[in-house]
């Protein structure tokens, strides 16, 4: 089965937050994405609420429950107690844990699984006890994924930012792609499923999904939102689904 597509709504929320107005509607755009075939919606509610607001989460949960019951809600963030309570309140299907400092503009590195296993393991246990699938943000490093599996997580999400940054350098992209592929191979061998996200585009998705044929899910925000300005959200979702192999 091709990789499922989860549309990250953070860029939509950030655009809305430029004015004290309700548009563009985060749930409205989410509805368009799901109606066009997206398999889920992703948000990263940061402590300062600079894009996705905490108040958006129950509305997205209700949208999926009421109109798209086969879709999934993915909430990502750094596992503070406040974040964990937010997750438990809004009941996503998947929680993606990222090692972000609150001041970071965006996620730009994976966990140090060996060095932070004592921190991550009880968090993963708590989330899994709550019935959530847990994914951990991971750098493309094959040697690290055994320690990721030891935390009890279900998946890793490969950080594809370096791969995306070589959009005009095919040699560099090929090297990064192989690092991602080897990491995915190691993760799958360790019993983990594999997601991917960051700076993925219609242009670079086909090679990624070819190298990682068992890729479970891609979460895409910036590139997809940029394309939606040109093509509209429904057509953009269809373009990304086609790039994933649907």
As annotated, the active-site residues are 44, 76, 198
Exposure pattern of 199-215 as b/e (b: 16+ CB <10 Å)? bbbbebbebbbebbeeb
User: Distances from the Cα of 22 to the Cαs of 16, 60, 234, in angstroms?
Assistant: 7, 15, 21
User: What is d(CA 94, CA 132) in angstroms, rounded to the nearest whole number?
Assistant: 6
Look-up of token digits 């937010």: 86
Q: Which of 149, 151, 148, 165 is nearest to 108 (CA)?
A: 165
Whether 229 contacts 238, CB under 8 Å: no
Q: Which of 96, 82, 86, 126 is nearest to 8 (CA)?
A: 96
Look-up of token digits 């503009």: 105
- Residue 233, helix vs strand vs coil: helix
Look-up of token digits 């599996």: 149
Q: What are phi and psi of 84, to 5 degrees?
A: -65, -40
CA angle 16–49–200, rounded 5-degree value: 70
């Amino acid at each position: 089965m091709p990789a499922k597509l989860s549309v990250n709504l953070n860029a939509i929320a950030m655009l809305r937050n430029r004015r004290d107005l309700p548009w563009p509607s985060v749930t409205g755009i989410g509805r368009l994405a799901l109606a066009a075939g997206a398999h889920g919606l992703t948000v990263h509610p940061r402590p300062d609420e600079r894009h996705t607001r905490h108040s958006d989460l129950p509305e997205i949960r209700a949208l999926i429950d009421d109109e798209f019951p086969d879709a999934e809600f993915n909430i990502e963030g750094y596992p503070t107690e406040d974040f964990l309570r937010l997750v438990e309140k809004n009941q996503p299907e998947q929680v993606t844990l990222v090692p972000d400092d609150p001041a970071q503009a965006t996620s730009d590195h994976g966990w140090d699984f060996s060095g932070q296993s004592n921190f991550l393991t009880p968090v993963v246990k708590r989330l899994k006890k709550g019935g959530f699938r847990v994914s951990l943000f991971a750098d493309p490093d094959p040697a690290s994924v055994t320690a990721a599996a030891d935390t009890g997580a279900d998946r890793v999400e490969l950080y594809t930012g370096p791969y995306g940054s070589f959009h005009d350098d095919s040699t560099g992209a090929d090297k990064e792609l192989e690092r991602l592929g080897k990491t995915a191979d190691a993760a799958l061998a360790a019993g983990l499923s594999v997601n991917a996200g960051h700076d993925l585009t219609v242009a670079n998705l086909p090679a990624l999904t070819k190298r990682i044929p068992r890729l479970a899910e891609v979460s895409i925000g910036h590139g997809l939102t940029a394309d939606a300005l040109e093509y509209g959200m429904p057509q953009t979702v269809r373009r990304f689904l086609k790039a994933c192999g649907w």
